[in-house]
Structure 1
């Protein structure tokens, strides 16, 4: 098959960086193989994908869709209208663009888009990032052509014959961060004789992690540590004052994540699926603080899959007051423990995930 083929490909996913960046990574790999392919992303209006996807060089259209709240709120009353509107617009997009394949990486918009695509017999692939899938992907899996997963045991939720374990797509720049360490230290203007803590609360930020770092900042600095703190878009105005503190730099968002990872010695992170996959490849000692405010507590399940292999530490939000200083200081003071976690987490990395997912997409294109 000639790589001159002008395939038309729709990718749908968004809401958080954990859904957006895997979709972009997949698109980049397809584009490398098929330079003449035409791409369209479909996301949710007013979400971060509407900025991040065009920055990556791709066209995007937005649906008027949002998730349904688990607790009853007035916002839930608009959900049926948003869903009907999004299904209608998804039909128009599919009819106009005529995709050869549709790929869903999670997020609100992927539900209506994949539902319409599969109802019209268009080949579809779901890229499920979590160890515990959400209700949308469970429903979509019945009609999806293939489901690429990152964890074992997903046959509990999906048809076993459709599952391919590939891992989660990651940014290609992370595959060789060791060679970037010296340059990264310069980019972030870090001191060479201090260990660097990188605090990563997700693309939008994590309120409880930010509160923790603010409270424990003096303690952290007392251990001869410098801090790169990505506090997130929602919290930057509150925490940017700490840019005035020596050895602390606060960022709303970090675009050159490969340099941030390369410069770091210890990482504190949420346990979203994409972050977990990236951290396995990065191979640095990690303390996971999972968000308890996600469906089925899937971040804790993601983190425990790593912790159970003695490859990371975990502190629950409810235990931060009691456990943080003790666990953090023990890790900082034990080079042996740092090396052990680093070696073990690297063993869990699935470095060829993006290529394997696109191999499966190619099979759908050939049929």
Structure 2
């Protein structure tokens, strides 16, 4: 509703519908009552958006924002698919797995978190596209990377991002002492 995409997507000429929703607090909190209310209201709002848009399939990749959309679509009998990109399944995908048609996983460890009959090992679709990437000239130029040094790229997402970022920041003094260069990606 207030995210970066609320500015970026419309400026690219792509229509965007938003919902008001929030994630659960991990500790006991009265705020979670509001979360349940917003989820139920968002499911109602999503059903209207889905009726207007008429999708053939709805795909979710985890996170509380997609929860209401995928749940609404599943209740409307629209084919649904969720994709778990972590080795440990997230709360939203665990919840949605009971209602969706199929669950794609990237790591075999995640299989145990979902109904066996729904699981398909897909891997991470993006990984295969970049694995054989040869032309790094643009990156070398943009980030002033040297061709004669090995490059270490540090990035993380989801639950691991904060820990990876903290460890990388702590290691900065060590990076300067090594014969390699570091590209540190944060979000």
Question: TM-score of the superposition, structure 1-length normalised?
Answer: 0.44
In structure 2, the CA distance between the partners of 1:129 and 1:51, relative to structure 1 (3 Å rule), is: farther
Q: Write the mapping of 1:179-328 to structure 2, written as runs, cut at 5 A.
A: 179-202=134-157, 206-232=161-187
Find out whether 1:135 has 2:91 as its counterpart: yes
1:55–1:157 Cα change, 3 Å: farther
Tell me which residue corresponds to 2:101.
145
Distance 1:89 1:185, change over 3 A: same
- Quick one: which of 12, 18, 36 aligns to 1:62? 18
1:162-188 Cα offsets, whole Å, 9 max, x none, are 2221112217751432x2134432232
Structure 2 Cα separation of the partners of residues 117 and 190 of structure 1 = 46
Of structures 1 and 2, the one scoring higher in RCO (CA 8 A, sep 6+) is: 1
Identify which range, 81-90 or 206-215, moves more after superposition: 206-215
Aligned to 1:109: 65
What is the alpha-carbon distance in structure 1 between the residues aligned to residue 13 and residue 128 of structure 2?
A: 16
**Counterparts of 2:156 and 2:136, CA distance in 1:** 22
Tell me: CA distance 1:48–1:168, structure 2 relative to 1, closer, same or farther (3 Å). Answer: farther
Q: How far apart are residue 154 of structure 1 and its match?
A: 4.9
1:64 CA drift (Å): 0.8
Distance 1:193 1:168, change over 3 A: closer
Distance 1:107 1:189, change over 3 A: same
- Which runs of 5 or more structure 2 residues have no equivalent in the other structure? none
Distance in 2 between residues matched to 1:201 and 1:149, nearest whole Å: 18
Partner SS for 1:147: strand
The 3-state SS of whatever aligns with 2:184 is strand
* Greater share of strand: 1
Shift in Å, 1:150: 1.9
How far has the Cα of 1:77 moved from its partner? 4.3
Tell me whether 81-90 or 56-65 shows the greater mean CA deviation.
Answer: 56-65
- C-alpha separation in 2, matches of 1:58 and 1:172: 27
Change (3 A) 1:55 1:227: farther
2:52 corresponds to: 96
Q: Deviations over 1:88-145 (max 9, x none)?
A: 2112112222222211121112221122212221111222223332333233223322
Displacement of 1:79: 1.0
Point out where structure 1 has 5 or more consecutive residues left out of the alignment: 1-44, 233-367
Is 1:174 the counterpart of 2:174? The answer is no
Distance 1:190 1:62, change over 3 A: same
Question: CA–CA distance in 2 between the matches of 1:193 and 1:93?
Answer: 53
For 2:112 and 2:166, the matched residues in 1 are separated by 37
Aligned-residue RMSD, C-alpha: 3.0
Matched residue, 1:79 = 35
Give the aligned partner of residue 319 of structure 1: none
What displacement does 1:70 show?
0.6
